[in-house]
């Protein structure tokens, strides 16, 4: 298909300029011919390439995007506006989101530019990408083609995901799986299970984010750019060279995160993108294993064992994304530290134990809020550091009675003047699914007139809130 000339009118849209001419589609800036229909944001039109030399996957992927894009809500995908008749002229009109792609960022900042490619910047962009992926996973959509060119960085730091032509919606037919008899995805970023035809697993997107983190951190691609099926299949058993082999100053926590994303078996990766975003936003809480300390990759013997295992592995159908997320939530417990009774601490621990017991793999975040200090003297700073350590020790002591053998746990001491607001903001920033905190000890009549912390949190929190009443076991009441 020839490029459309500026000024061409299609179904009430006026074409401006071509902003991308790719192998599968052309994308144009467009606007309404009737200015009165202006939606309040800029528009882009996507038209698939359909020449004789183009493959059938072009039109199939267009149909997939046409099905999925209108179902997506939130700030992490372009807003759908209109679609053209597939039999006459297929097109998609969507929001034109301003910003640069991650590919532009990589091109502008070469690997030796360590100032731009700081570990903080890498973690920040990785966390924003994981949050965007989590947003579409919560809508039962897996992107399955995450790569730097499809990750748009907004000016404020958030991420918009582009191009849903290879995606999979759990509640719609998977046209690509029905039409294609080969691995579907971009070879550099495709996950091992996609290579063997398993689609719809949210952990495939986590693998792709791991590839992008690896490239941002080292300037190298963990598996190169394979062009053959044999080259693609190597990632079913291969572990890439540790990032610290390319960049020795890379912190262990970041290598731990990257290599966990790149595990060949999906079950060994992060169970949800929210867990990945949590680690990237809280690097001091990442537990370091042998993965993070590794300076060279596994030897030939290890890879041979993995090759044998991969050859006989039976891949299960992908879990429903929303069910997978629900089974491994981020659970937050607000542990008070002032005027707190043993009954409150005991009740909170029991409630946390019950919630964790029925959710293997859930993550526990223990949080205390202390009043912030206005003083900035060095003595005050030292005392605040000591106070932080004391409260962290108290949180760990409180959690000592919990069975955390199947759970990740982290401990956070927040400084804020408003306790309820600090708890709500932490829950929002870390995609917390459930929060447990002690119920107010005031009577119900009094609570109508007092805006207590528990009431404010329950009203404003973006997640399920469990208010726990104080109680002690019978054998403790007599002590």
CATH of the domain at 120: 1.10.510.10
Shared domain for 200 and 161, answered yes or no, is yes
Distance between terminal CA atoms of the chain? 83
- Bridge partners of residue 83, in order along the sequence: 92
Shared domain for 43 and 118, answered yes or no, is no
Shared domain for 309 and 391, answered yes or no, is no
Q: Is residue 4 part of a domain?
A: no
pTM: 0.91
Shared domain for 29 and 136, answered yes or no, is no
Residue 182 confidence (pLDDT): 64
CA distance 107 to 99: 15
Residue 176 confidence (pLDDT): 83
pLDDT tens per residue across span 332-364? 999 988 777 888 889 999 999 999 999 999 999
Q: Is residue 175 part of a domain?
A: yes
Q: Give me the residues of the chain with pLDDT under 50, please.
A: 375, 377, 442-449, 477-479
**Distances from the Cα of 229 to the Cα of 193, 226, 375, 441, angstroms:** 13, 8, 62, 64
C-alpha dihedral over 231, 236, 239, 240, to 10 degrees?
30
Q: Which of 59, 47, 53, 43 is nearest to 22 (CA)?
A: 47
Shared domain for 261 and 359, answered yes or no, is no
pLDDT tens per residue across span 56-88? 677 888 999 999 999 999 999 999 999 998 778
Residue 410 confidence (pLDDT): 95
Residue 442 confidence (pLDDT): 47
Q: Is residue 234 part of a domain?
A: yes
CA distance 33 to 84: 16
CA distance 145 to 48: 17
Tally the C-alpha atoms within 13 A of residue 314's C-alpha that lie toward its C-beta: 1
Question: Of 304, 324, 344, which marks where a domain is finished?
Answer: 324
Pairing of strands 408-415, 363-370: parallel
Q: Is residue 113 part of a domain?
A: yes
Shared domain for 370 and 240, answered yes or no, is no
Structure tokens, 366: 């223990």
Residue 439 confidence (pLDDT): 80
Q: Which of 266, 273, 361, 263 is nearest to 316 (CA)?
A: 266
Question: Of 324, 353, 370, which marks where a domain is finished?
Answer: 324
C-alpha dihedral over 398, 403, 406, 412, to 10 degrees?
0
CA distance 342 to 316: 47
Shared domain for 288 and 406, answered yes or no, is no
Q: Is residue 365 part of a domain?
A: yes
Shared domain for 292 and 344, answered yes or no, is no
Structure tokens, 300: 């030939």
Q: What is the CATH number of the domain that holds 378?
A: 3.40.50.620
Domain count for the chain: 3
Q: Would you tell me how many other CB atoms lie within 10 Å of the CB of residue 308?
A: 11
Q: What is the CATH number of the domain that holds 81?
A: 3.30.200.20
Backbone angles phi, psi at 197, to 5 degrees: 95, 5
Shared domain for 185 and 72, answered yes or no, is no
Contact 103, 149 (CB under 8 A): yes
- Bridge partners of residue 109, in order along the sequence: none
- Bridge partners of residue 14, in order along the sequence: 9, 31
pLDDT tens per residue across span 33-51? 998 888 999 999 999 987 6
Shared domain for 121 and 262, answered yes or no, is yes
Percentage helix, strand, coil for the chain under 3-state DSSP, each rounded to 5: 40, 15, 45
Pairing of strands 43-48, 92-95: antiparallel
Q: Is residue 1 part of a domain?
A: no
Shared domain for 89 and 126, answered yes or no, is no
Q: Is residue 204 part of a domain?
A: yes
Shared domain for 112 and 240, answered yes or no, is yes
Using the Cα atoms of residue 8, residue 13, residue 19 and residue 22 in order, give the sign of their dihedral: negative
Q: Which domain holds residue 281?
A: 101-324
Q: Is residue 420 part of a domain?
A: yes
CA distance 117 to 136: 27
Residue with tokens 């708890």: 423
Structure tokens, 241: 């060279």
- Identify the helix (H) or strand (E) that includes residue 331: strand 330-334
Question: Of 47, 73, 95, which marks where a domain is finished?
Answer: 95
């Amino acid at each position: 298909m020839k490029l459309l000339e500026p000024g061409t009118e299609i179904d009430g849209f006026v074409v401006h300029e071509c902003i991308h001419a790719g192998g599968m589609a052309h994308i144009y800036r467009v606007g309404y011919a009737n200015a009165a229909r202006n939606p309040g944001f800029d528009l882009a039109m996507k038209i698939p390439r359909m020449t004789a030399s183009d493959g059938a996957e072009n039109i199939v992927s267009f149909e997939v995007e046409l099905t999925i894009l209108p179902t997506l809500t939130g700030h992490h995908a372009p807003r759908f506006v209109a679609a053209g008749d597939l039999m006459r002229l297929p097109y998609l009109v969507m929001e034109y989101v301003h910003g640069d792609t991650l590919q532009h960022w990589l091109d502008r900042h070469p690997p030796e530019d360590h100032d731009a490619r700081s570990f903080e910047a890498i973690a920040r962009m990785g966390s924003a990408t994981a949050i965007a992926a989590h947003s579409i996973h919560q809508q039962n959509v897996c992107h399955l083609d995450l790569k730097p060119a499809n990750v748009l960085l907004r000016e404020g730091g958030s991420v918009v995901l582009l191009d849903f032509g290879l995606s999979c919606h759990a509640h719609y037919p998977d046209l690509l799986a029905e039409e294609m008899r080969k691995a579907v995805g971009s070879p550099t970023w495709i996950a091992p299970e996609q290579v063997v035809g398993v689609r719809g697993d949210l952990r495939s997107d986590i693998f792709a984010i791991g590839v992008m983190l690896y490239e941002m951190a080292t300037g190298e691609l963990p598996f190169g750019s394979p062009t053959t099926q044999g080259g693609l299949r190597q990632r079913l058993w291969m572990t890439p060279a540790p990032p610290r082999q390319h960049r020795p100053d890379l912190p262990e926590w970041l290598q731990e995160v990257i290599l966990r994303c790149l595990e060949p078996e999906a079950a060994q990766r992060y169970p949800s993108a929210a867990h990945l975003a949590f680690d990237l936003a809280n690097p001091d809480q990442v537990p370091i294993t042998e993965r993070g300390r590794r300076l060279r990759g596994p030897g030939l013997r290890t890879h041979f064992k993995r090759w044998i295992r991969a050859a006989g592995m039976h891949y299960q159908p992908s879990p429903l994304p929303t069910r997978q997320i629900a089974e491994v939530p981020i659970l937050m417990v607000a542990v008070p530290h002032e005027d707190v009774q043993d009954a409150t601490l005991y009740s909170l621990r029991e409630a946390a134990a019950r919630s964790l017991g029925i959710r293997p793999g859930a993550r526990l975040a223990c949080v205390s809020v202390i009043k912030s200090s206005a003083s900035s003297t060095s003595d005050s700073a030292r005392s605040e550091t000591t106070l932080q350590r004391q409260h962290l020790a108290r949180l760990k002591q409180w959690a000592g009675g919990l069975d955390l053998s199947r759970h990740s746990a982290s401990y956070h001491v927040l400084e804020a003047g408003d306790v309820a607001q600090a708890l709500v903001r932490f829950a929002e920033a870390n995609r917390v699914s459930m929060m447990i905190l002690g119920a107010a000890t005031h009577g119900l009549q009094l609570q109508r007139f007092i805006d207590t912390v528990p009431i404010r949190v329950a009203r404003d929190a973006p997640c399920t809130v469990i208010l726990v009443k104080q109680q002690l076991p019978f054998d403790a009441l007599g002590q």
